[in-house]
Amino acid sequence: MNIEVLTEATAFSVIVVPLIFFALIAAYVALKQDHSEKVLIRTISFVMLTSFILSFLVGIYFVFSDAHRFVADFGTWYQLEDYKFNVSFIFDSLSIPMLILSNFLIGIVGHFSSRYLHKDDGFVRFFLLYLLFSSGMSLVIVGATLDLIMMGWELVGISSALLIGFYQKRTGPVNHGFKAFSYYRVCDLGLLLAAGFWHMAFESSNLSVLSELGGGIQYSAEIILVCVSVFIASLAKSAQLPMASWLPSAMEGPTPSSAIFYGALSIHAGAYLLMRMFPLIEGLPWLRVFIGFVGIATAVYGAFVGRSRNDIKTLLAYASLSQVGIIFFEISLGFNRLALVHLIGNSLLRSWQFLSSPSLLHDIHILKLPANTSSRFLSLLPHKMRYWIYRQSLMGGNLDSAIFKLIVTPVVKLANLVDGFDKRWLYFIDDETLEQSTRIDIPTSKETSDGIILNIRQ
């Protein structure tokens, strides 16, 4: 088979086909108000299997060819003056392993979910969001322009937030979904700006300009802003400090979604983006030092806080956080290959751990596994310090409180101020009675630790 046809078929299969089936299934269920789980699962399994086989074939082709990359070009989506929105996908030594991993894990988790969510009210909703996520993640992995990556990035974000709030009749998951969505929006801003500044710097949206430039990059203000924006985007997506607190809250979603999002793929999207942009970041030592520092700090934070948790999913979330921190550190040192291997290994291990977490008690009992281990290192520390570390770990390092104090509270105060001004402005020009204030209360620390960002009361 011609490699161009193969890459185009793969790109179509991993990105467009899930979206088509998303639309078809949604329309079918809306019209019929009924569905067969078996048919749904078979359809989705077929889509995922095809995607996996095609991406695997591209991988084999890549291994036995001399090419450094394959590009699947679908032309221009739209064009205006000097601006073109190119739809092209890149298959190289970075994206191919990630794509194979992604399709493999999505397929496995889909199969697991078909039994795990059997007869659940949200069965169809779960698989619709699963298809949306699959398409978005593939776009992030193979997108050859920042605009395409941004599209995938937002698809992953909304599917993630809606899956965290999957059990939508309970307020806890809904609040946590909202919290994750808020963090994601902040990181979307980073990627949006990166795309804009990239175009200003290179007069093109294509990432392949990096390889054309080679090592001779002149670091203008725009390029530096691209790097910083990409870093901000990856911080929130990969739950690195100081944006780490949403990850444990995200465990409210169904276990399969936790596995695929926060154990395997979504959590690593930030690290992947940094690896993709590394040729640009490479020449900015201060940024690399900062990335490394954030990575190490997150790794330590995750290790300590994770040890203070007593439910398996939260513990795994912090373990995942820790490992991604180390991956960030590896990237900052320029060990991209090691980071990729680490990423793949961590994804596989965490997926397995998440998927087997519901049967943990059974495993402990039957296999006689140790339920907990204590650290010998910690026992060497003075009692007071151990107590302080434990207390800080229990409180999650007060991250939520800090974010609330520094960001949410001022914004809400400002919003209330603007609201008050607006009502007075209305009163001034129309002499209408001032409506009863609809101010929102700033959440208390207890509420913030429960993950409630905005608690609106009249």
Partner 1 sequence: MINLSSQFSMLLLALIAAIFSLIGLFAPNPLRSKQLSVMSSILVVLGVFFVASIVLLGTESDLIGGLITSIDVERNHAILLLFALVFSIVSFGFIFTSPMIMTGNLDRFQTLWLLSSVLMFCSSTDVRFMLLAWLLSIVPAMVDNTSGKLKLQITKHRLFIFSQLVGLLMISIGLAIAYNMNSAGKPAETSYIFSHFIRVLLRSNGFSTLATFLIVVGLLMRQGVFPFHQGFISLINKGKLPYSVLFLCSQLGFLLLLLLKNDFQEMSHVFTHQTVLAYLATFSAMYFALLSIVEVNIRKNYLLLLLMHSSLTVLLAATYGGVAQSALYVDIMVVLLVGGGLGLVLWLFERRTGVISATKYLGMAAKMPILSCFFLVFGLGLINFPLTLSFISEDLLLHGVLKHYPILTTLILIAFVITGISFYHFYARLFLGTPLVNISRRDILRNEAMALILIFALIIFFAFSPSILLKVASHEKSMLSYLMMGGSSLY
Q: Which residues would be at the binding site for partner 1 (CB under 8 A)?
A: 19, 26, 30, 77-81, 83, 85, 147, 150-152, 154-155, 158, 161, 165, 168-171, 174, 177-178, 181-182, 185-186, 188-189, 192-193, 195-197, 199-200, 411-412, 414-416, 418-419, 422, 425-426, 429-430, 438-440, 454, 456-458
Alpha helices of 12-122 — where are they, by DSSP H?
Answer: 17-32, 37-63, 95-116
Give the residue with the Cβ less far from partner 1, 46 or 83: 83
Nearer CB in complex with partner 1: 406/414: 414
Minimum CB distance to partner 1, residue 220 (Å): 13
CA angle 325, 331, 335 (to 5 degrees): 125
Q: In whole angstroms, how close is the CB of 279 to partner 1 at the nearest point?
A: 22
Of 52 and 261, nearer to partner 1 (C-beta) is 261
Paired tokens of 56: 């695997």
Q: How far is CA 404 from CA 47, 164, 454, in A?
A: 43, 21, 10
* Calpha distance 382→223 (Å, rounded): 48
Contact between 348 and 356 under an 8 Å Cβ cutoff? The reply is no
Q: How far is the CB of 177 from partner 1 (least distance, A)?
A: 7
- Amino acid type, 56: F
In the complex, least distance from residue 70 CB atom to partner 1, rounded to whole angstroms = 24
CB-wise, 219 or 427, nearer to partner 1? Answer: 427
Sign, Cα dihedral of 188, 189, 192, 197 = negative
Shortest CB 301 distance to partner 1, Å: 25
Q: Nearest distance from residue 236's CB to partner 1, in Å?
A: 11
Could you write out the DSSP letters of every residue in 143-166? BSBHHHHHHHHHHHHHHHHHHHT-
- Minimum CB separation of residue 83 from partner 1 in Å reads 5
Minimum CB distance to partner 1, residue 120 (Å) = 14
Q: How far apart are CA 96 and CA 102, in angstroms?
A: 10
Residue 222: is it exposed, middle or buried by C-beta count within 10 angstroms (0-12/13-18/19+)? middle
CB of 457 to partner 1, least distance (A): 6
Closer residue to partner 1, CB minimum distance, 197 or 261: 197
Specify the residue, 57 or 174, whose C-beta has the smaller distance to partner 1: 174
Q: Of 78 and 377, which has the nearer Cβ to partner 1?
A: 78
Q: How far is the CB of 280 from partner 1 (least distance, A)?
A: 18
Closer of 194 and 343 to partner 1 (Cβ)? 194
- Checking phi first, is residue 368 left (phi over 0); if not, alpha (psi -120 to 50) or beta? left
Cα–Cα distances in angstroms (integers) from residue 35 to residues 29, 41, 45, 178, in the given order: 6, 11, 16, 29
In angstroms, the CA 100 to CA 264 distance is 13
- Distance between alpha carbon 228 and the CA centroid of its chain, in Å? 18
User: Residue 434: exposed, middle, or buried by beta-carbon count in 10 A (0-12, 13-18, 19+)?
Assistant: exposed
Note whether 244 and 301 are within 8 A (CB). Answer: yes
Residue with tokens 């339920």: 371
- Paired tokens of 327: 């991956």
Question: Least distance (Å) from partner 1 to the CB of residue 136?
Answer: 8
Residue with Cβ nearer partner 1 (217 or 454): 454
Whichever of 398 and 416 has its CB closer to partner 1, that residue is 416
Q: Which of 315, 322, 299, 320 is nearest to 371 (CA)?
A: 315
Q: Which C-beta is closer to partner 1: that of 389 or that of 426?
A: 426
Handedness of CA 173, 179, 183, 188 (dihedral sign): positive
C-beta of 179 vs 288, nearer to partner 1: 179
What is the smallest separation between the CB atom of 326 and partner 1, expressed in angstroms? Answer: 30
Distance CA 37, CA 127 (A): 10
Give dist(CA 158, CA 242) in Å, integer. Answer: 21
